[in-house]
Amino acid sequence: MHDLLMMLHFLGLAAGLGASISGTVFTLAAGRWPAQDASAFIGRAGPLLSNTGAAGLTVLIVTGVVMLIMAPGMAAAGGVWFHIKMVFVLAAILTIGFIHMQQARLRRGGDAAIIRPRLRSAVRVSMLVSTAAVVCAVLAFH
């Protein structure tokens, strides 16, 4: 059972971190395109990536909680790095929530000139905090 949970946990990680890395690369590339092309591309790709990232994060949270319930000493065994990782996980949750809120504002007709820069920044923060969580997890459980 633990192996299955670990596989699912890593698949969630791949989906979540992959989406944030892709989003960062796409926003950087789109910054060099004509504004209309960039807006159309990010408008279509952005929600797909953020939904993939949110699904991956959800799998990570569910499998992580189940693994902690099955092996309650795991948090203590991970030491301070485990707790630091959890701070980054919380930051990822908040960042992804912020991204979804901004995308909802765009769908409702919000000011794209204000919202799109926020989204670009939030996507980059998402990649950084997700990567930091992975680094801390490796340090906690190596």
Q: Letter for the amino acid at 26?
A: F
**Model confidence, pTM:** 0.88
Got the DSSP string for 35-75?
HHHHHHHHHHHHHHHHHHHHHHHHHHHHHHHHHHHH-TTHH
Q: What is the pLDDT of residues 86-140, one digit of tens each?
A: 999 999 999 999 999 999 998 899 888 899 899 989 999 999 999 999 999 999 9
Q: What is the pLDDT of residues 11-66, one digit of tens each?
A: 999 999 999 999 899 888 888 888 888 888 888 888 899 899 999 999 999 999 99
Can you tell me which residue has the tokens 């930051």?
A: 91
How far apart CA 38 and CA 46 sit, in angstroms, is 11
**Start-end of H helices in 71-111:** 74-107
Domain count for the chain, please give it.
1
Question: Exposed/middle/buried for 108, CB within 10 Å: 0-12, 13-18, 19+?
Answer: exposed
Structural domain of residue 127, as residue ranges?
Answer: 2-141
